[in-house]
């Protein structure tokens, strides 16, 4: 249950609405070009350079594109885990082995997502990741991430906490989505870095950039 007061809840909803409105104005070419730049920046991260397993995701709609990054990681020999949405909004995981390994899955009347078409590895597969790439709408100067409010990645982060796992948490965003402050809840964890098409932003507590 959220412990945020009414003002903070309202602020979170307003910020989400503003950011989603900006994203809705992007063209397919904007998203594609941003995804190419994002992949180049992300592949320079030491956390990814040394990772054997990375939990990532397939971007949808006007989210910063991840397909180029998934292919770059796979080509480097990294084991890439992708989420499969469960009925309770938790995430199972499967392995990405190239574009042909993705299948469209419709989730009720909500959305169609590209998910790994191979065998499922279970929700705990994320515990073996050296880095977890997180979707989001914004991040602030403390590294606190604003998600879309579905709760799926809150479950992932809680699972990591319970297991004592400490992968590098990295959020992928557009340049304008690094903001002064976002509302947070007591269970939220700061990310180590944010990658945008123009560069990498690190946060207090994270290692210095290589």
Binding-site sequence positions for ATP? 12-16, 145-153
Q: 197: closest CA among 79, 43, 17, 25?
A: 43
Q: 71: closest CA among 40, 94, 114?
A: 40
How far apart, in Å, are the Cα atoms of 197 and each of 54, 135, 169, 174, 193? 20, 14, 18, 6, 13
Q: Angle of helix 67-75 relative to helix 28-42, nearest 10 degrees?
A: 30
Would you state the structure tokens that stand for residue 6, as one six-digit string? 């009414």
Q: 94: burial class by Cβ within 10 Å (0-12, 13-18, 19+)?
A: buried
Point out the annotated binding site for substrate: 58, 63
3-state helix, strand, coil in the chain (%, to 5): 35, 25, 40
Point out the annotated binding site: 12-16, 58, 63, 145-153
Q: 169: closest CA among 152, 150, 151, 145?
A: 145
């Amino acid at each position: 249950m959220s412990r945020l007061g009414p003002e903070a809840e309202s602020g979170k909803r307003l910020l989400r609405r503003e950011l989603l409105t900006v994203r809705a104005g992007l063209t397919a070419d904007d998203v594609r070009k941003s995804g190419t730049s994002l992949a180049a920046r992300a592949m320079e991260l030491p956390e990814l350079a040394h990772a054997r397993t990375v939990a990532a995701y397939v971007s949808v709609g006007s989210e910063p594109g991840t397909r180029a990054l998934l292919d770059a990681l796979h080509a480097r020999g990294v084991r890439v885990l992708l989420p499969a949405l469960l009925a309770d909004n938790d995430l199972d995981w499967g392995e990405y082995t190239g574009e042909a390994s993705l299948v469209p899955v419709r989730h009720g009347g909500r959305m169609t997502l590209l998910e790994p078409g191979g065998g499922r590895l279970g929700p705990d597969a994320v515990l073996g990741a050296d880095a977890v790439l997180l979707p989001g709408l914004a991040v602030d100067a403390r590294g606190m991430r604003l998600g879309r409010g579905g709760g799926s990645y809150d479950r992932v982060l809680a699972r990591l906490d319970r297991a004592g796992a400490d992968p590098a948490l990295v959020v992928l965003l557009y340049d304008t989505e690094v903001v002064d402050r976002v509302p947070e809840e007591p269970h939220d964890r700061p990310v180590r870095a944010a990658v945008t098409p123009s560069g990498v932003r690190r946060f207090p507590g994270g290692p210095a950039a290589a």
